[in-house]
Amino acid sequence: MALLKLVAPVKDYLWGGDRLVKEFGKKAIGAVTAESWELSCFPGSESIIENGEYSGKKITDYISDKGNMVLGTNCQKFEDFPVLIKLIDAKKDLSIQVHPSDDYARIHENQYGKTEMWYIIDAEEDAFLYYGFKRDVTKEEFARRIEDETLTEVLNAYPVKKGDIIFIESGTLHAIGAGILLAEIQQNSNVTYRVYDYGRRDKDGNLRELHVDKALDVTDLSAVKKVSRPEPHIGECKYFTVDKVNLTGNITDTIKGTVGEESFLHILILEGQGTIKNDGEEMTYSKGDSFFLPSGSGDYSLSGSLEALLTYEK
């Protein structure tokens, strides 16, 4: 069996909403649902396989049993599984934060750093996010503005709409704003250095931890330079490549491809419904579904109507 349907673990962070449950069919674990981890080998938050002989087991169990070559030859350069894919529903503003590089994270956190990209699925009118600084700042000014809570005055406020793509390299200060629903493709890491959180308290009444000293170590203090889109892909770096595909809704329309020995393929359905076929298997899909095709699984097709993100390693 090559075609694996995944069930995503979800997170009930305080800034989340309910769209992942109501629109994408995710199972709530609390009053809010902030994130669903659609492809995850992160310890304690692994995706679960829904079908076949590994039904109910973690995707890491499947990889361990079958061997790392199910990830493809292009993944062998990585010490750990390289990518983590999420859906994120920001009903409220997320904290202003930064992620470290691999070198820094390996020393201080025993994890990868985090470079990531966002695909905006939907955004309320006037929604925006913070993306780097609008001008160069010094380390002293950065520290002072964190202390006196004026940091947003020097951040680049970036309006967004459905279909926008934002690529965030490690070291770039950023925050998702309220009213934004997005897909995030990132390195397989959960390292975040929070520098400002609007004075919010968690469900136990405690202020959330800040990580100012480490953020001062890793943040790029120069004015942000937008990374150009790497045509024909919507996202590409040494950690992942992402394509977006669409079908119009005419059932005769079909997308075909081949999963070779070079890489696995992950398919995340953002809209639509139809049928996916691979290796003699056929399954239906709908909005919010997530599929993992191991390397070497051969020809596949998607028929129906859809908007989907395809992630793989080059």
Amino acid at site 159? P
Task: For Cα atoms 163, 82, 27, give the angle at the middle one, nearest 5 degrees.
Answer: 60
Q: Please list, in sequence order, all residues whose beta carbon lies within 8 angstroms of the beta carbon of residue 175, skipping any fewer than 6 positions away.
A: 93, 94, 95, 96, 97, 129, 130
Q: Which of 194, 200, 201, 208 is catalytic?
A: 194
Separation of alpha carbons 305 and 54, rounded Å: 28
Identify whether 232 is preceded by a cis peptide bond (ω within 30 of 0).
yes
- Let me know: does 291 contact 267? Beta carbons within 8 Å: yes
Q: Please list, in sequence order, all residues whose beta carbon lies within 8 angstroms of the beta carbon of residue 155, skipping any fewer than 6 positions away.
A: 96, 130, 131, 132, 133, 134, 173
- Determine whether 194 is an active site residue: yes
- Let me know: does 216 contact 143? Beta carbons within 8 Å: yes
- Among residues 181, 136, 127, the alpha carbon closest in space to that of 155 is found at 136
Using the CB atoms, write b or e for 225-253: b if 16+ within 10 Å.
eeeeeeeebbbbbebbbbbbeebeeeeee
- The residue with tokens 């119009």 is 248
**Element (H or E) spanning 308, and its range?**
strand 298-312
Phi, psi values for residue 183, rounded to 5°:
-105, 135
Map residue 297 onto helix, strand or coil: coil
Task: Enumerate the active-site residues.
Answer: 194
